[in-house]
Structure 1
Amino acid sequence: MADTNVYQPLLMDADFERLDDFLESDRAPTDALDVIGAHGFLVALAVAPTALSAAHWIGELFQGEPAFADEQERDEILALLETLKVKAAQALELGQLPELPFELTLDGLAPEETPIGDWCAGFMEGVFLDEAAWFAEDEENVAALLLPFMALSGLFDEEPDMQDFIADTQRLEALVSQLPDLVLDLYLHYRVPPEKPKPTARKKRSTRKR
Structure 2
Amino acid sequence: MTGLFATVQPESPMSDTLPPQPLLDDDALDRLDDFLASERVGEDALDLISSHGYLVALAVAPRELDPAVWIGELFQGEPAFADDAERDEIFGLLEALKANAIAALDQGLLPELPFELTLGGLAPEETPIGDWCAGFMEAVFLDEPAWFDDDEESAAALLLPFMALSGLFDDEPDMAEMVDPTRLEGLVQQLPELVLDLYLNYRVPPEKPKPSPRKKARGGRGKR
Normalised by the length of structure 2, the TM-score is 0.83
Deviation at 1:134, TM superposition (A): 0.6
Deviation at 1:165, TM superposition (A): 3.8
Deviation at 1:30, TM superposition (A): 1.2
* Unpaired runs of at least 5, structure 1: 196-210
Which residue of 2 is the match for residue 192 of structure 1? 204
Matched, 1:179 2:169: no
Sort the Cα spacing of 1:140 and 1:162 in 2 relative to 1 into closer, same or farther, 3 A: same
Q: Relative contact order (alpha carbons < 8 A, sep ≥ 6): 1 or 2 greater?
A: 2
| Separation of aligned partners in 2, 1:165 and 1:103 | 25
Deviation at 1:72, TM superposition (A): 1.1
Which residue of 1 is the match for residue 22 of structure 2? 9
1:63-142 equivalences under 5 Å are 63-142=76-155
Which residue of 1 is the match for residue 165 of structure 2? 152
Deviation at 1:2, TM superposition (A): 7.7
Which residue of 2 is the match for residue 53 of structure 1? 66
Normalised by the length of structure 1, the TM-score is 0.89
Which amino acid in 1 is paired with 2:90?
I
Instruction: Report the count of equivalent residues.
Output: 194
Which amino acid in 1 is paired with 2:200?
L
Which residue of 2 is the match for residue 201 of structure 1? none
Percent pairwise identity: 71
| Separation of aligned partners in 2, 1:107 and 1:4 | 24
Which residue of 1 is the match for residue 47 of structure 2? 34
Which residue of 2 is the match for residue 164 of structure 1? 177
Alpha-carbon RMSD: 1.4
Cα-to-partner distance string for 1:7-62 (whole Å, 9 max, x where unaligned) = 01000001001100000000111100000000000000000010011111000000
| Separation of aligned partners in 1, 2:191 and 2:171 | 22
Bigger Cα Rg: 1
Helix, strand or coil for the counterpart of 1:20?
A: helix
Helix, strand or coil for the counterpart of 1:8?
A: coil
Work out whether residues 50 and 131 of structure 2, in 8 Å CA contact, stay in contact via their aligned partners in 1: yes
Which amino acid in 2 is paired with 1:191?
R
